[in-house]
Amino acid sequence: MSEHESTYVPRTGIEKWLDTRLPIVRFGADYMSLPTPRNLNYWYTFGAILMVCLVIQIITGIVLAMHYTPNTGLAFASVERIMRDVNGGWLIRYVHANGASMFFVAVYVHMLRGLYYGSYKAPREMIWILGCVIFFLMIATAFLGYVLPWGQMSYWGAEVITNLIGAIPVIGEPVLIWLRGGPAIDNATLNRFFSLHYLLPFVIFGVVVLHLWALHTAGQNNPVGILIPKDRTAKDTLPFHPYYTVKDGFALLVFMMMFALFVFFMPNALGHADNYIPANPLQTPAHIVPEWYMLPFYAILRAIPDKFGGVVAMFGAIGVLFILPWLDTSRVRSMRYRPTMKIFFLVFVVVGLGLGWCGGQLPDAPVIGHFKTFTLIDGDLNSYLWLTRFLTAYYFAFFFIIMPLVGLKETPLPIPATISDPVLTGAPVVSQAVPAQAEKKG
């Protein structure tokens, strides 16, 4: 796929002139005709959905920036002015605010798809690592953006998260003051957060270009997980357009319907009511919670009794993703053919959701009923604190123990020789696992 030959033929005079000087039309045409595995399922449509999410966030963000005022005395009212007096402002702001949530919904599905089908394994390590960079930048951008409306959760969220930096020994305190632009969160902090919130999406865009470049160099993975041999390219692939533009397009529109449901009918369901109270440095809210998409990492942070240890664990939970390609010892990419690993994967998904749930609860609250059991070290066993710790243990064990060990121990199912006609080549495979059969109805 990497040596995809150009099939573009310039027709008009202008195209010919341009093609010898800046072959940008050729670039686009080749991109659209790229040979793509013919067995991609709907889980593979989230890449295109994410691209649209990014563009939506950038466009709505640029318009919002025209009306927003990054000043602690004016920010809250300027956001409400967008809601009330700017033409269509309520729509643009709600799309931007809910768009962040939708972006994370799509990115989590996209990442779990990559994990399930082994899309991070050689020769696609760089695609995965660049994806992790994008994810990290997304978290940073979302955090910075959440501070801008200068509500109670904005302010106190910024307080909690920047304080984490202060937990780093020796350099923590000076770095904290440098980042905040002073000893406390104030106007200087809001101004730099606004500046960086405007900058980072364009950095993300740049890394997305690299992500796609790496994708088109190494070639797309597919649900069967085998590399497509050169001599089978014609048989096993389809040009990206129109086959996948229309498939991605359909999935995108279904996704947009869910997006619209939130924007138009429950625009504040994913946010916290306290963020409609203007920031007050003298009044701490009863519960400081991040947005839902940060909750699993917030839970991991709180699971560790030591503050710096918590910070290390939280960043480690994201950092481990970067070395994932070298933790997996299996020679088989797709978990379709890894029955043991598939179970561990499903548990991992449940653990991830569980961590998200725990992140929104009070650590000392009982998980089951209203009774206490016995105190284990520093908390009751029947508490979210301990549930979070068990889930955190599984989260890290999945990457550091289960992944290397299961890869060495398990016996994978037989893998089809090709993706398009495994039955004809006589490969003995479980019928359900063959996309050619499962998807033929369409």
Partner 1 sequence: MTLSIRKTLVAVAAVAGLAFAASPALAAGAAHKLKDGGFSFDGPFGTFDQGQLQRGYKVYREVCAACHSMNLLHFRDLGIKGGPFYDEHAANPAENRFVRAIAAEFQIADIDNETGETMQRPGIAADKFPSPYPNATAGAAANGGANPPDLSVMAKARHGGADYIYSLLTGYDAPPSYLTMTSTQHYNAYMAGDLTPFVPTGAHVPPGGFIAMPNPLASDGLVTYDDGTAATKDQMAKDVSAFIAWASEPHGVQRKQAGLGVLIFLALFAGLTYLSYRRIWAGVAH
Query: Residue 268's closest CA among 248, 245, 291, 289?
Result: 291
> Is 207 one of the binding residues for partner 1 (CB under 8 A)?
no
Query: Residue 101's closest CA among 146, 67, 161?
Result: 146
Min dist CB 258 to partner 1, Å, is 6
Q: How big is the site for partner 1, counted in residues (CB under 8 A)?
A: 69
How far apart, in whole angstroms, are the C-alpha atoms of residue 91 and residue 78?
15
Min dist CB 174 to partner 1, Å, is 34
How far apart, in whole angstroms, are the C-alpha atoms of residue 437 and residue 300?
42
How far apart, in whole angstroms, are the C-alpha atoms of residue 275 and residue 264?
19
> Is 250 one of the binding residues for partner 1 (CB under 8 A)?
yes
Nearest to partner 1 of 117, 129 (CB atom): 117
In the list 34, 35, 38, 53, the residue contacting partner 1 (rule: CB under 8 A) is 38
Nearest to partner 1 of 126, 256 (CB atom): 256
Site for partner 1 in 394-433 (CB under 8 A): 420-421
In the list 65, 188, 209, 273, the residue contacting partner 1 (rule: CB under 8 A) is 273
DSSP 17-58: HHHTT-THHHHHHHHHT-EEETT--GGGGHHHHHHHHHHHHH
Helix/strand/coil (H/E/C) assignment for every residue in 52-95: HHHHHHHHHHHHHHHHCCCCCCCHHHHHHHHHHCCCCHHHHHHH
How far apart, in whole angstroms, are the C-alpha atoms of residue 185 and residue 207?
30
- Judged by CB under 8 A, which stretch of 197-205, 207-215, 256-264, 406-414 contacts partner 1? 256-264
> Is 263 one of the binding residues for partner 1 (CB under 8 A)?
yes
User: Contact 223/118 with Cβ under 8 angstroms?
Assistant: no
Q: Provide, for the chain, the percentages of residues in helix, strand and coil under a 3-state DSSP scheme, each rounded to the nearest 5.
A: 65, 5, 35
- Judged by CB under 8 A, which stretch of 155-163, 273-281, 333-341, 387-395 contacts partner 1? 273-281
In the list 19, 51, 63, 94, the residue contacting partner 1 (rule: CB under 8 A) is 94
Query: Binding residues for partner 1, per CB under 8 A?
Result: 38-39, 41-43, 45, 77, 80-81, 83-84, 90-91, 94, 101, 105, 109, 238, 242-243, 246-247, 249-251, 253-258, 260-265, 267-270, 272-274, 276-278, 286-287, 289, 292, 295, 353, 356-357, 359-362, 365, 420-421, 435-436, 438-442
